[in-house]
Chains A and B, each alone.
Chain A
Amino acid sequence: MQQQIDADQVRKVAKLGRLELTDAEVEAFTEQLGAILAYVEKMNELDTTDVEPLAHCLPISNVFRDDVVGPSLGTDNALANAPQRDGSFFKVPKILDDSSGA
């Protein structure tokens, strides 16, 4: 069976996940993740020709709530666990490239 994931891909995924890995860890995770992917690969042996794609594991849809205001936490509660606060704000390291917004 071909290798499922290489060290560069592990480094890339780690970077995207903001994880700092040592070379030894990269090697270990490459092997472990490879084994997991190979295991999941077994699924490809199934014939899914007539099986509808599934977006969710529960056979339900349209679970809504009404547009009614509920309680919010309030500023002090919201900030209670923050590592740092500045007045009513969360305080974070200076953001240089602001590409914020949805």
Chain B
Amino acid sequence: MSDLSYKVIVGLEIHVQLATRTKMFCGCALSFGEEANSRVCPVCLGMPGSLPVMNKQAVEYAMLAALALHCEVASFTKWDRKSYYYPDLPKNYQISQYDLPLGSGGYIEIPLEGGRTKRIRLIRAHLEEDAGKNLHTAGSFSQVDLNRAGTPLLEIVTEPDMNSAAEVRALAVELQRIVRYLGVSEADMQKGHMRFEPNINLLIERAGLQFRTPIVEVKNLNSFRALERSVAYETQRQLDVFLETGITMQMGNKSTRGWNDADETTVLQREKEEAHDYRYFPDPDLVPVTTTPEWLDEIRSRLCELPVARQMRYVGEYGLSDYDAGVLTAERATAEFFEQTVVAGADPKRVCNLLTQAGLKLANERGCDMSALGIAPAAVANLAQMADAGTVSATAASTILQAMTETGKAPELLAEEMNLVQTSDAGELERIVDQVLAENVQAVEDVVSGGKKSKKARGFLLGQVIQKTKGQANPKVVSEILDRKLS
């Protein structure tokens, strides 16, 4: 097997729940955790005679996302019925878009190691309604909750351009970042706002010949971890099966597998032969959507700088590490807050440390974003400048930041009140250094004579000075004075 090489080929289907207040075709509120079947009406229950009406916000969110994903937005699009029977689908068809999707083509840039990016092409992005939920925990029967039925979803289908589990995960994370930036989805994984279905197979080269393993679609993954693990698992499983059986991709041998979260394996799902005969046809209950250039321009004006571009800019323009830039751009609110502090005069690296080490932790604890912490960017910029000037230590700056969120007071005031102002006054510090040196003759001798006790003794003297100032001496300044006096 020494001449065998392979690569995994993955395309993704992703369903993203849009952040509208109401469902796609009726006025029922979107809900999570409400009493089962409480948010339903004749339209989303599929009652005879009821008629769907499009939610304009959902269409505009989908247009905005399509523009951000560099799709071509159709000037004319329509709705089609996808027919299948399932208890969670009350009408026995799902309203979707078949041959004229809202968005076609496009791409997502995903960040790779070392600041590089890779472009993953998209096939399409279209709108559709979600189904309800089946629950199988009740023993000899199943339960159906239709609160979710009719929720607007954006379905995004990529080309098979990903070649590792890590790339697949990166795409999912990047898409989450994009839709959150745009405000078109909360993309909360816990609430099932993003669901993934990877199509996976291997391209194997052996003895100069190429083989493709049968494509496997893994259904309904709802976490980044499950997505990444399932691709890694399938890669190994398909390689093993190929080595054992030599079976390659043919018409009709694509299969569907489910993900078992407990033992992190995929399990073959049996599907009825005719399951994919969806008999699409135009929905006569809904009129088409035409997107005029004016309307598109208006939507385009709501676009913002996308996260990956922002991340690269922070590395290039501000000299931040790739990691820090990634953390700051993960949420739009954080990135915008950061930029406002820089505009207000803060050093990007200093304020980056303040925000990543203290600010985000506070926001996380309080379950809010940076902009809701009750601190003004200008005040944080002041604090960053105080830390730069050595008026407060880096540790003290974090403490002051927290106090700012609690009291709303200015950083200068808090530094005074909390006794966190560092003394950098060389004259005063010099006096204290002299006093400490006079009181610790032995330590001074140890330092001056060099040898193995020297380093420890110097540290002791520095500590004494800091102690005498009750921690308010700027260690850098004290260190300089000590160096001068002991050399």
Chain A contact residues, CB within 8 Å of chain B: 12, 15-16, 18, 55-58, 60-75, 78-79, 84, 86-95, 97-102
Known: A65-B55, A69-B29, A72-B39. A78 touches B146 (CB 8 A): yes
* B438 contacts chain A at the CB level, 8 A cutoff: no
Could you tell me if A99 and B256 are in contact, using CB atoms closer than 8 angstroms?
yes
Q: How far is the CB of A38 from chain B (nearest CB, A)?
A: 20
* B58 contacts chain A at the CB level, 8 A cutoff: yes
Q: How far is the CA of A87 from the CA of B144 in the complex (A)?
A: 11
Q: How far is the CA of A62 from the CA of B55 in the complex (A)?
A: 10
Closest to B140 in A: A94
Among B14-22, B237-245, B358-366, the one that faces the other chain is B14-22
Could you tell me if A88 and B35 are in contact, using CB atoms closer than 8 angstroms?
yes
- Report chain A residues within 8 Å CB of B45: 73, 78
Could you tell me if A102 and B131 are in contact, using CB atoms closer than 8 angstroms?
yes
- Report chain B residues within 8 Å CB of A74: 38
- Report chain B residues within 8 Å CB of A98: 134, 136
* B277 contacts chain A at the CB level, 8 A cutoff: yes
- Report chain B residues within 8 Å CB of A55: 76, 78, 100, 282, 288
Could you tell me if A58 and B287 are in contact, using CB atoms closer than 8 angstroms?
yes
Question: What mask results when residues 142 to 163 of chain B are scored 1 for a CB within 8 Å of chain A, else 0?
Answer: 1111100000010100000000
Known: A89-B145, A99-B275, A102-B153. A64 touches B55 (CB 8 A): yes
Could you tell me if A88 and B145 are in contact, using CB atoms closer than 8 angstroms?
yes
Which residues between 92 and 114 of chain B lie within 8 Å of chain A, taking CB atoms? Answer: 94, 96, 100
Q: How far is the CB of B57 from chain A (nearest CB, A)?
A: 4
Closest to B128 in A: A102
Q: How far is the CA of A68 from the CA of B27 in the complex (A)?
A: 6
Could you tell me if B27 and A65 are in contact, using CB atoms closer than 8 angstroms?
yes
Could you tell me if A93 and B85 are in contact, using CB atoms closer than 8 angstroms?
no
Q: How far is the CB of A43 from chain B (nearest CB, A)?
A: 16
Could you tell me if B56 and A78 are in contact, using CB atoms closer than 8 angstroms?
no
Could you tell me if B38 and A90 are in contact, using CB atoms closer than 8 angstroms?
no
Q: How far is the CB of A71 from chain B (nearest CB, A)?
A: 7
Q: How far is the CB of B217 from chain A (nearest CB, A)?
A: 10
Could you tell me if A94 and B141 are in contact, using CB atoms closer than 8 angstroms?
yes
Known: A15-B274, A93-B142, A99-B269. A67 touches B288 (CB 8 A): no
Known: A56-B284, A99-B219, A100-B86. A67 touches B144 (CB 8 A): no
